[in-house]
């Protein structure tokens, strides 16, 4: 072997039938000449990248001169030094192509909801997560590549939600967008989540507000003025003490007004179990008076016939009518539960009405105590409806 490749040494290389001849250069590691049994001469480069031995054909001699081959070998070795494979395989090329593909934010959100939320979350949770992501993030970032969204953009958007008077919504928004970006990391669409290190924009506060009698009267009267659909929704939130999404998505098929029963399937409840709500005569009369704009939903949107979901917009208009500041829709549920307790309803019956899985029905007790307490729940809700009627009458007089 010569100490390094020269044109003379290359020309002297003779083909050997059935044998491949290799001549390596002493100046450039891995650079050499390969002669096939047929006499074809090619410059080659052997190198290692990511722990794998690779071979690269630089070109045939004399079409490619020795000087040009040396330049190509040096350039390739510089790429190797930078962690780049100068001669990637088809699989490597495809992976690189995939890594360069744009991931539109709105399309990625749609995939996340379909492939993750709808598969792994309860339907109610999946819908809430989709609503939050679409409400706050899709509009400003719809056509953005998810890899281009930065932490500071997320922080600023969350701050704007909190500054708009929605601190709790800002916290929920962070929870939803963090879950989305973590999913993107798991799927290989991102290396690091831009939510990493982002803290909640506001402190979680345990609300304990209960409306007094005057506020209850004002709310009830405002519900009369508000009309369909938000007025009746407000009244049913008070009459039944159920969650807003459960009332907003109430379906005609789940109601038996003759027997005064509302049966929520497990997939529509936060507790993921069937829930039976006795309906007071007041609630039945209210439901019977409502227009049927949809064969499915009690509170349907006029355009699509789908369930009512615009609680933010409805509440904005309703607050202007009611003029009760600092009130949330959840305050109505808490108020109803508190009032039923004041009227002498036992705690376990209140918990059953609220469909709670903690407290009296938590742990082992909840597993073995399957009694529905429907008669006791009916008595409590009818007593509370009578109290509401009394307050409404006082307002009129």
- Please tell me the predicted confidence (pLDDT) of residue 205: 59
Do the domains 213-396 and 7-100 match in fold? no
Record: fold of 213-396? hpI Integrase; Chain A (1.10.443)
- Please tell me the predicted confidence (pLDDT) of residue 234: 94
Give the residue from 245, 298, 253 showing the smallest Cα distance to 271: 245
pLDDT in tens, 279-311: 999 999 999 999 998 889 999 887 777 888 888
Long-range CB contacts (within 8 A, 24+) of 333-339: 333/237, 333/241, 333/242, 333/243, 334/207, 334/208, 334/209, 334/210, 335/210, 335/211, 335/216, 335/238, 336/237, 336/238, 336/239, 336/240, 336/241, 336/384, 337/241, 338/210, 339/384, 339/387
pLDDT in tens, 171-211: 999 999 999 999 999 998 998 999 999 998 887 655 678 88
pLDDT in tens, 122-169: 787 888 899 999 999 999 999 999 999 999 999 999 999 988 878 888
Q: Is the pLDDT of residue 352 over 80?
A: yes
Q: Is the pLDDT of residue 363 over 60?
A: no
Please give the model's pTM, rounded to 2 decimal places: 0.55
Residue-range domain boundaries for the chain: 7-100, 105-186, 213-396
Domain 105-186 has CATH 1.10.287: no
Taking the C-alpha atoms of residue 138 and residue 281, their distance in angstroms, rounded to an integer, is 43
| CATH no. for 7-100 | 3.30.160.390
Q: Could you give the percent of the chain with pLDDT greater than 90?
A: 53
Q: Which two tokens stand for residue 148?
A: 């281009």
């Amino acid at each position: 072997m010569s100490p390094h490749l020269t044109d003379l040494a290359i020309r002297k290389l003779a083909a050997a039938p059935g044998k491949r001849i290799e001549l390596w250069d002493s100046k450039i590691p891995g650079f050499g000449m390969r002669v096939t049994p047929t006499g074809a001469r090619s410059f080659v480069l052997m190198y290692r990248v990511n722990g794998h031995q690779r071979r690269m054909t630089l070109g045939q001699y004399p079409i490619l001169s020795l000087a040009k081959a040396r330049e190509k070998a040096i350039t390739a070795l510089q790429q190797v030094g930078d962690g780049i494979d100068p001669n990637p395989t088809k699989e490597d090329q495809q992976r690189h192509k995939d890594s360069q593909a744009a991931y539109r934010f709105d399309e990625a959100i749609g995939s996340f909801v379909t492939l993750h939320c709808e598969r792994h979350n309860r339907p109610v949770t999946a819908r809430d997560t989709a609503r939050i992501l679409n409400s706050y993030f899709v509009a400003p970032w719809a056509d953005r590549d998810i890899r281009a969204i930065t932490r500071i953009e997320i922080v600023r958007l969350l701050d704007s939600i909190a500054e708009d008077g929605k601190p709790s919504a800002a916290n929920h928004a962070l929870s939803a967008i963090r879950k989305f970006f973590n999913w993107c990391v798991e799927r290989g669409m991102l290396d690091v989540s831009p939510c990493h290190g982002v803290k909640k924009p506001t402190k979680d506060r345990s609300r304990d507000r209960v409306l007094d009698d005057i506020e209850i009267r004002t709310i009830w009267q405002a519900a009369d003025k508000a009309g369909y659909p938000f007025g009746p929704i407000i009244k049913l939130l008070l009459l039944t003490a159920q969650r807003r999404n459960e009332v907003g998505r109430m379906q005609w098929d789940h109601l038996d007004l003759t027997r005064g029963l509302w049966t929520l399937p497990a997939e529509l409840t936060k507790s993921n179990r069937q829930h039976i709500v006795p309906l007071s005569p007041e609630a039945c009369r209210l439901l019977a008076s409502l227009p049927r704009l949809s064969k499915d939903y009690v509170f349907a949107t006029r355009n699509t016939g789908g369930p009512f979901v615009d609680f933010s917009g409805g509440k904005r208009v309703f607050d202007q009518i009611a003029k009760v500041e600092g009130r949330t829709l959840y305050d109505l549920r808490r108020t109803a539960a508190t009032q039923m307790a004041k009227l002498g309803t036992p705690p376990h019956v209140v918990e059953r009405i609220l469909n709670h899985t903690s407290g009296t029905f938590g742990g082992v007790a909840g597993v073995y105590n399957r009694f529905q307490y429907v008669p006791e729940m009916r008595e409590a809700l009818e007593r509370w409806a009578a109290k509401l009627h009394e307050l409404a009458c006082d307002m009129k007089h």
